[in-house]
Structure 1
Amino acid sequence: MRTAYLLLPLAAAIALAACAQQDPASTDVAAPASAQTAQTAQTASPSEAMAETEPTAEAIAGVSGTYVLDPKHTDVIAQWSHFGFSNPIAHFGDVSGQIVYDADNVGASSVEVTLPLSGLNSHVGDFDAHLRSADFFDAAKYPNATFKSTSVESAGPNKLKVTGDLTIKDITRPVVLDVTINKFGEQPMAKRPAAGFDAVTQIKRSDFGMGMAAPNVSDEVELRITTEAVAAGDAPAATAAQ
């Protein structure tokens, strides 16, 4: 009897070893559905996996109307490379202008903006004075920079491409703004319809007669714009696109 008890553990070990030597493919067949799903997910390409997880941009309903830029909530930021060591910025404030937005026919929309150089601010007083000098903007002779659109077109959900003429120092060059529609709705403080946009473009300052120190100080300047515009007081009531 004692011998039988000793043989029981040995028999169990032999049985376990036999199970372990079975064809692995047979265990895959018996794998639960959740495990098979996980394996399928692992073999999916990164682009397919990303497409399944990326949220779809919710379209913002455009609202037709004429909107006046709010200078307190509008900023034009210029940024460039300084000898490759740093990327300084300068702000252009006190911006004025208007946006005419046609929700039913985006191509009929327009933008007109004035940037007074008196609103230029790099947070470095001596540098601001140099920027306003004849070496750069020559603000005493040319106090404003302006932008006037020549075409507006849709560029995808909540995106626009705005082409226009940028004038600095009486030199006009075409630029293209890549625009993001942020929001249409009532501005809670003003209690009036409002619209918000961001935009970005890149220009060469040498195109406008301001090439001093290029290319050590980069000729390319990135412009980033954020604006909030409120429906004009004498404009027709803003209407949403149908």
Structure 2
Amino acid sequence: MRRIAPLAVLALAVVAVPVVIAQAPSGAPGAPDKSRVTAGTYAADAGHTMVVWEVDHLGFSKYTGIFGDVTGTLVIDPANLAAAKVDVTIPVSKVTTASAGLTSHLLRAGKDGGKADFFGAAPADAKFVSTGVTLDDDGDEAKVTGNLTLNGVTKPVTLDVEFHGAGVGMNKKETIGFQAEATIKRSDFGIAYGIPMVSDAVELEIHAAFEKQ
């Protein structure tokens, strides 16, 4: 599950089931212990949830950016993980890259009133809403299907999700953390600038924390 997913969203977003057991730092409040997860509604921890995207640039290197400040909810019951629901929103306008010039390009208006190369000056938030959760035979991995809306286009996307940890966070709230991966084609969402020099495929890696409400 080290392959990730195409650009955007989505959303964030992200997640929806305690699954694979991962390593946690010794002494940390969170641990890869599924018995710590309790049923309820959880809100995304915007400061610790992000969607990392990666594209291939000219066949020479991979280029990475981040969508942060993800918001939304996770509804989960350890007794019925297949019924888990996730609904997250990703503020595309807050995209971050290592290059001020590229970040500006992603968010600049189209020339002479034309279509923007990427997201444009006032992009709508991206959104991921789950439609189903499928656990593997061992119950240690899950595929979360859902609809991703990006750049005004809605398409089905499948996330490969694994459980990272659960426990009581520094703010005394029950917290669950996940990792998720997916790959999308940006052309499916009307973002075709630079293809094939810059890859159509966008790899997404999502790191998400949810706090119980």
TM-score calculated relative to the size of structure 2: 0.77
Q: Looking at CA atoms only, which structure, 1 or 2, has the larger radius of gyration?
A: 1
Cα deviation code 1:217-236 (max 9, x no counterpart): 1100000000111101xxxx
Cα pair 2:48 2:208 within 8 Å, conserved: yes
Mean CA deviation greater in 194-203 or 158-167: 158-167
Task: Number of aligned residue pairs: give it.
Answer: 175
Cα deviation code 1:195-236 (max 9, x no counterpart): 00000000000000101111121100000000111101xxxx
Q: Which runs of 5+ in 1 are unaligned?
A: 1-55, 233-242
Find 1:225's aligned residue among 186, 206, 212: 206
Cα pair 1:59 1:158 within 8 Å, conserved: no
Q: Secondary structure at the match of 1:97?
A: strand
Q: For residues 117-128 of structure 1, what are the structure 2 equivalents within 5 Å? A: 117-128=92-103
How large is the Cα RMSD of the aligned pairs? Answer: 1.7
Q: Comparing both structures, which one devotes a greater share of its residues to helix?
A: 1
Question: What code does the residue aligned with 2:186 have?
Answer: R
Matched, 1:186 2:163: no
Matched, 1:208 2:205: no
Tell me which stretches of 4 or more aligned residues in structure 1 moved more than 4 Å: 56-59
Q: For residues 139-218 of structure 1, what are the structure 2 equivalents within 5 Å? A: 139-140=121-122, 142-155=123-136, 156-187=138-169, 189-218=170-199
Which has the bigger relative contact order, CA under 8 A and spacing at least 6? 2
Distance 2:121 2:210 in 1: 26
Cα deviation code 1:119-169 (max 9, x no counterpart): 2000211211211232111351x3211111011122344422110001011
Cα deviation code 1:52-96 (max 9, x no counterpart): xxxx96862342111111111111100010011110100001111
Cα pair 1:137 1:168 within 8 Å, conserved: no
Q: For residues 10-159 of structure 1, what are the structure 2 equivalents within 5 Å? A: 60-61=34-35, 62-133=37-108, 134-140=116-122, 142-155=123-136, 156-159=138-141
Distance 1:218 1:66 in 2: 37
Mean CA deviation greater in 117-126 or 165-174: 117-126
Distance 1:218 1:144 in 2: 23
Distance 1:110 1:139 in 2: 32
Percent identity of equivalent pairs = 41
Q: Comparing both structures, which one devotes a greater share of its residues to strand?
A: 2
